Amino acid sequence: MKKLLVLILALSIVVIMYNESFAEKSTFFDSVKFIQYLDENTALEEVRNGNLDVYYYTISSDRLENYQAREGLQVFDSTGGSYSILVNPAESEEFNPFSSKDIRFALNYLIDRKLIVNELMGGYGSPIISYYGPSDPEYLTVIEQLEAFNFKYNPVLAEEIITRVLKERGAVKIDDKWQIDAKPIEIKIFIRSDDTVRKSIGEILASKLQKIGFTIKKDFGDLNKAFVVVYGSNPSDLKWSLYTEGWGRSAFVRYDSVGLGQMYSPWFSTMPGFNDPSYWNYKNDRLDTLTQKIYTGGFESSEKRSQLIQEAVVEGVNESVRIFLASKIDQYVVNEKVKGIVNDFGAGVPSRFTPINAQSSNNEFVIGVKQIYQGAWNPVMGLTDMYSRHIWGIISDPATFKHPFTGETFPIRAEWQVETAGPNEKLTVPQEAIIWNPYFQKWDYVTPDTLATSKVTFDYKFSNWHNGQEMDINDILYSLYFTIEWGTQIDENDRTFDTEFTPRTSQIIQTIIGVNPIDEDTIEVYVDYWHFDEGEIADWAVLWNSMPWEISSAMEKAVMDGKVSFSRSGATSKNVNWLSLIIPTDANLIKEYLQEFKNSNYIPVALKENYQNSQYFQNRYDSSIKWIETNNHAVISNGPFYLKSYSPESRTITVSAFDDDSYPFKIGEWAEFEKAKLPIIKNIEMKNIIQRGEELEIRVEVDNSDSILYFLTNTEGRMISSETLNIDGNRITVTVPSENTKDLGIGANNIKIFAISNSVLKPDFYESSFLVTDVKAELPTSLSTNIEFTENKSEYWIWIIPILFFIGVGVYLKKQYL
């Protein structure tokens, strides 16, 4: 539920009424300027020269190869991003080869993932076949299932599968070109031209498919164009067949509940069709059921959760509608004179904490960005791209967030106490608890003897909104109203329905039992939700709002009147604007509704029983109207910075420090996040050739590690042995007994070793092959790798960093569009 509330709240847009009093500062800089630099090489030199403090986009490894290339720079390695191919599986009047599951699956053999990592990415990454890669905490949960696929680059096998299916469908090959019904079989590939890696991936894939005999049509563009051609079109119109996707993260998450739903499942509205009822939609009930259980806590133990994740990953890979290619190790550059960078394990250097904590001798922090505006700014179903999220993260404070190094939930604006009877028992909900009734448009008291699995009591750290008005419990209750109202479809004519928001939120509201406001900044929340980590229960249950209720109400009215849409797909199908509060025309639309509310003494139905006097409502309307008139946008929130200006002409966005006495966090609050002691594998010693059935010893030297985990697989990719071993000191010997090694195959077998820290959830990772023979043999030297001096660039050696944070509609979404 948190996710959902956070959604409307956490996503909400930021704006502030700047108060130039003598308030204590909350940031080191007076302002932060974001400037678009499309060319990474230019941005690199601007950072080196000090015209930029940091560039929020990865720099190619070949530009940072030696000391001279890094002069004047700090270089930070971080993971979290990934590349994928979105495949259009739609049935259509025109023949679509990718409507065949087998042809989609064959793409896994047609794509050379190692080439992508080693050649296109300079070794800075890792081949992946699923949403979870080595940088994700959940990777160890699914590694055995992933190894079982044993995908290897095999274009011959791919062509055999494709040929078989096409012939079964009645296609023929004439002059090396596939035809059906006397028409060429055409594949339309939408290629991101603003990313050199994705451009190369698209070109390579086009070449291989053309070689097989398809007629290829290439379409190039950026994310704005992709929102129209790919994410905004009816899949059955076949305006696209394949799309080279990219993903980023805004936080590091220990227990991912959203990612598999986002990447594989129709209910989350990010699969082809996007739940627009007027479009053809991809369907998979099994994936929906599995991922909804993961999302809503439908498990009784950690083991059951792992089983759900394993089954969902296998089904997602088998379906191959979204095919993952590589996880990234991004290199970010920062000017050498800047201090206080926070390199989040999920978000990397563009963490929300970096601009808040960074320091230099200047009054303004200048950030170069790849794109300045790639999608709408609204807190419901906007802010879906990484570029806007980078800015939004410092304009808006969330109630809770994820620790940048452990991924665990910690409080920012809401302290909590959890009481749970889960997974199998229930708590009694007090009769004074209330819940919004979308059918009768009023707050109801819960019925007697109502039960819930968990209770969370939240104590809020309220402050002033950026427009000067005080946050209060009405903002919290309005967010709950909005979530239930827009998460419930009463009938097919329901005006409070959004094709993307409603399906996601409907999963959340099923778990909301009731709330009990205790005082002006405390509320009890009752939910049917359980997790073995109490922080996750709090994260799910938290109610929050990242924008004033009056802005939410005005947005609602504008959408219900059919003038704009919260979501991209809704805007496309209704032929209206995708609501963006940063754009003057949309901001003025919101102002018009606020003026109408003021003139008519309007009180939203959700707040009619709050016993506030009329002046309270007038003050709210007046402050937001004045804000829009003064700033020419409607982005009002509660974070340490407020949106000062957006200039499309100069491609800049400027935010200014919100130096207000009410703001609860002072300068240097997040300094503890500057450093992390990472686990490191320093040295591996093992034989590079053994006899089958011979005991295998592997000596491992580590730093900052509490345990190691190893996986031993044979020539067929089958798991032979796996074990977690605690470490006392810096050295440990792994012994694989002969009863296990007898199952190794003759030839090259594989070993993977993870070094794990209990305090920093970023394992180090080593992978290598070794030979197995039937008879005793030796090579000239043993395999002894001094990892400490090995560059992090080979296909066997990667840093591991776990998960993303994504807010969709009050929901953490694991990844954002790039």
Q: What is the pLDDT of residues 678-696, one digit of tens each?
A: 899 999 999 989 999 999 9
d(CA 29, CA 357): 9
The rounded radius of gyration (Å) of the Cα atoms in the chain is 27
Q: What mean pLDDT comes out for the span 302-316?
A: 97
> Mean of the pLDDT values across residues 275-283?
93
Q: Is 629 helix (H, G, I), strand (E, B) or coil?
A: helix
811 pLDDT tier (thresholds 50, 70, 90) = very low
Residue 792: pLDDT band (50, 70, 90) is very low
CB 428 within 8 A of CB 415: no
CA distance 638 to 640: 7
Q: Which H, E and C letters describe 204-259, residue by residue? A: HHHHHHHHHCCEEEEEEECHHHHHHHCCCCCHHHCCCCEEEEEEECCCCCCCCCCH
Residue 793 above 80 pLDDT?
no
Cβ proximity of 810 and 505 under 8 Å: yes
- Contact between 217 and 242 (Cβ < 8 Å): no
Pairing verdict, β 512-519 and 522-527 = antiparallel
Task: Report the distance separating Cα 642 and Cα 645, nearest Å.
Answer: 9
Instruction: Report the pLDDT value the prediction gives residue 716, as an integer from 0 to 100.
Output: 84
Tell me which architecture the domain covering 688-781 has in CATH: Sandwich (2.60)
Residue 342 CA to residue 675 CA, distance in Å, equals 8
Q: Average the pLDDT over 537-561 and give the result.
A: 97
pLDDT of 80 reads 73
CATH superfamily entry for domain 80-256+322-327: Dipeptide-binding Protein; Domain 3 (3.10.105.10)
The alpha carbon dihedral of 438, 439, 441, 444 has a sign of negative
DSSP 488-508: ---STT-SS--TTHHHHHHHH
Verify cis geometry, omega within 30 degrees of 0, for the bond prior to 423: yes
Average pLDDT for the chain: 90
The C-alpha angle with vertex 690 and arms to 684 and 691, in degrees rounded to 5, equals 160
Structural domain boundaries in the chain: 80-256+322-327, 412-641, 688-781
CA distance 352 to 397: 10
How confident is the model at residue 815, as a pLDDT?
58
As a whole number of angstroms, the distance between CA 172 and CA 184 comes to 10
> Which of 422, 381, 148 is closest to 270 using CA atoms?
381
Q: Distance (Å, rounded) from C-alpha 351 to C-alpha 367? A: 12
pLDDT for the residue numbered 244: 97
Residue 17 has pLDDT above 50, yes or no: no
pLDDT single digits (tens) 428-481:
999 999 999 999 999 999 999 999 999 999 999 999 999 999 999 999 999 999
